[in-house]
A and B are shown apart, each in its own frame.
Chain A
Amino acid sequence: MSGTSRLPLGAMTRMAWRNLWRNHRRTLIMLLAISVGVWAMIFMTALMRGMVDQMIEDGIDSLPGFVQIHNPEFQDDPSVENSLPEPGPELLRALQNPEVTGWTTRVRVPAMISSERDSRGATLLGVDPEGEVALGFDPESIVEGRFLQGPDDNGLVIGRKLLDRLETDLGKRIVVMSQDSENEIADRGFRIVGVYKGKLAALEETYIYAGRSTVQSLLNMGSEVSEIAIKGHDYRDTGRLFEVVKQAAGKEVEVKTWAELDSYLGLMLGVMDGFVLVWVVVIFLALSFGLVNTLMMAVFERVREFGLMQALGMKPSAIMYQVLLESVMLLLLGLLAGNLLAIFSIWPIQDGIDLSVVAQGMEMMGVSSILYPALKLKDIVLANVVVIFLGILTSLLPAWRASQYRPVEAIAKT
């Protein structure tokens, strides 16, 4: 009989299970620590992910679209001179591509807005209201009056905060002043027809909406526009959409994704995955001290037993497997409890947590006052993989220690 010097897996598992419950209290405490750790990893990641997702989505919905086309000079000098023609036939064909879910053209110029009481700098947007809604403008955000009714609407829609700053009101006339295509001052009186509440506080003070044709006419732009904004299916994956648009737009214009246009938001998305990994590893490190301690205690308590197993013919490597199996079992139980805890604690709050108490601070970060946790499979998988992988790595030391006792010394231990 040659033998494998190792117990069959079934017997090893049974023995590992019984060994786990030799010290109920210690095992339960360790299980609690692992499951709370895993819960914290998943729950907090879901909150952070939800916050960042919302920050990005709000940012994207608040103007850029997923991809934008500009005059190459527009980013450096966003004046009327650096405009571009309306989409040509080739681009119009590309905009019918299934990758495109909506698009619009805009005039965007710096402007001065004046009421009877105050004046402020703002960004005047000449828009096609239908296109803006397709791109993400929420008609529900109009808190007073109405949104624009078409590109040639003569009314003006401004943010609630700007309205307050200008100490004016719905229905009153204000003057908007900018520079036309010949660098002459162009001004015009508008009646405020609508007031919107922006998802991001900063935008409420900055953007004022007028009909695109009205603004084109004010600035002598003809049919030219400042930008063409296009929306696709998933803001995380703009690669194909970008290619389709870039190819059709030609070389004379500049095509950029939202992440390039708003580098802060783009960076957030890029950094988030790394941040989640760091967060998960940091929690695990705190957890690992308890795990190593528990396993070491379990090993020291059973020195004689490990010596006996070696004396009976088990190889040191088999003893290492035995201890590792106990550790894996402990980790799996902890993971199961932690995952269930996380899923069942996120479930009741999936409709959002109202953070209005701290909303002002949140809004400064570009986050709205309702936080929607985003439980992602990849985050659950990451937390589980990190715990199992690092858990096994951490257990190697106690397992190795258990396998290194000399049988005669181990058996003599009391």
Chain B
Amino acid sequence: MAEIKCIDLCKSYQQGDAVIKALDHVSLDIGPGSFVCLSGPSGSGKTTLLNMIGGLDELDKGEISIDGQRVDLLAKGPLADLRLNHIGFVFQAYNLIPVLTAQENVEFVMQVQGVPTGERRKKSIAILREVGLEGMENRRPAQLSGGQQQRVAVARAIVSQPKLVLADEPTANLDSISAKHLMELFQELNENHGVTFIISTHDERVMRYARRLVKMQDGRVIEDLEQVPE
């Protein structure tokens, strides 16, 4: 379980002569075991907020802490350790390592963590079965469809049961059945294992699974609602 506190986050990008405010004084408290969906139009700041929480980008201003640990103050090394051991990422584009097979991609994080081979194999085969990729373990990303690649990326993010999963449009390339299956898997991990999920999405079907819905626009939080999930 992870408790996330975001206080007065600001981030601007220079685009030609214009300054784009990607995050404009965003403050957010996300309790342990939450299931949060960030929604809003493109350019509203959802992905930037996920990147900031995951320590992938630097803030202009503000504070982020995960379980009391200030993410924005961490050096590259400790930040890498935090991501490795506590955060699972699912990116908008599938982002798999092209020279590794599906199973090796799933095992990648566990390998870096130093998980013994036997345990790694067992977990990776089980999670691939769970995301519907049984029999495709030895295929390289180029031999998988977009949806299959996304499922590998999801499997990689959740296989070592991090306390926080940051997912950017995880169902963007999935058919409705696969998307439903994936969201049920997220829900199960959230409810039974206490994994905190923060998901950025445009997909109404995904939003229905969230217990909290945060709407963003122009880098600001415009609505923050609690809801009863499906």
Please list the residues of chain A having a beta carbon within 8 angstroms of any beta carbon in chain B: 1-8, 11, 15, 18-19, 22, 304-305, 308-318, 406-408, 411
Contacts A3-B112, A3-B114, A314-B112 given; does A18 touch B54 at CB 8 Å: no
- Minimum CB–CB distance from A317 to chain B (whole Å) comes to 8
The answer to the question of B20 belonging to the interface, with a C-beta cut-off of 8 Å to chain A, is no
Q: Does B77 contact A (CB under 8 A)?
A: yes
Q: How far is the CB of B184 from chain A (nearest CB, A)?
A: 25
Does B172 sit at the interface, judged by CB under 8 A?
Answer: no
Query: What distance in Å separates the Cβ of A249 from its nearest Cβ neighbour in chain B?
Result: 69
User: Can you sample 25 A-B contacts with CB below 8 Å?
Assistant: A1-B115, A2-B81, A3-B81, A3-B85, A4-B114, A5-B77, A5-B112, A8-B111, A15-B99, A18-B99, A305-B97, A305-B98, A309-B97, A311-B56, A311-B95, A312-B108, A312-B112, A313-B81, A313-B113, A314-B84, A315-B81, A316-B76, A317-B77, A406-B56, A407-B57
Please, which residues of chain B bring their CB within 8 A of the CB of A309? 97
Inter-chain contacts of B61 with A (CB < 8 A): none
CB closest residue in chain B, given A3: B113
A408 to B89, CA, bound (A): 12
Per the bound structure, the CA–CA distance linking A313 and B77 in Å amounts to: 9
Q: Which residues of A contact B76 (CB under 8 A)?
A: 315-316
Nearest-CB residue, chain A, relative to B54: A311
A408 touches B95 (CB 8 A): no
Given contacts A311-B83, A411-B95, contact A15 B57 (CB under 8 A): no
Contact partner, A408, options B56, B100, B109, B160, Cβ 8 Å = B56
* Complex contact B113–A1 (CB within 8 A): yes
Interface check B80, CB cutoff 8 A: yes
A244 to B115, CA, bound (A): 67
Q: Within 8 Å CB of B89, what residues of A?
A: 311-312
Q: What is the chain A residue whose CB lies nearest that of B157?
A: A312
Q: Produce 1/0 per residue, B98-122, CB < 8 A to A.
A: 1110000000110111110000000
What chain A residues lie within 8 Å of B160 (beta carbons)?
1
Whether A313 touches B109, Cβ cut-off 8 Å, given contacts A15-B99, A308-B95, A411-B95, is: yes
| Residue of B95, B97, B112, B114 with most chain A CB atoms under a 10 A cut-off | B112
Chain B residue nearest to A317 in the complex (CB)? B77
Query: In whole angstroms, what is the CA distance A385 to B7 when docked?
Result: 55
B80 x A315 contact (CB < 8 A): yes
B56 CB contact (under 8 Å) in A7, A11, A407: A407
Please indicate the chain A residues that have their CB under 8 angstroms from the CB of B58 in the complex.
Answer: 406
Min CB distance B108 to A, Å, is: 6
Closest 6 CB pairs of A and B: A313-B84, A18-B99, A408-B57, A3-B113, A408-B56, A407-B56
The reply to whether B56 and A315 form a contact with Cβ atoms under 8 Å apart is no
Q: Is B12 in contact with chain A by the CB < 8 A criterion? A: no
Q: Which residues of B contact A408 (CB under 8 A)?
A: 51, 56-57
Q: Judge whether B197 is part of the interface by a CB distance below 8 angstroms.
A: no
| CB nearest neighbor in A for B57 | A408
B91 contacts chain A at the CB level, 8 A cutoff = yes
CA distance A312 to B108 in the complex (A): 9
Query: Which of B56, B84, B100, B113 is A411 in contact with, Cβ under 8 Å?
Result: B56
Nearest CB in chain A: distance from B210 CB, A: 23
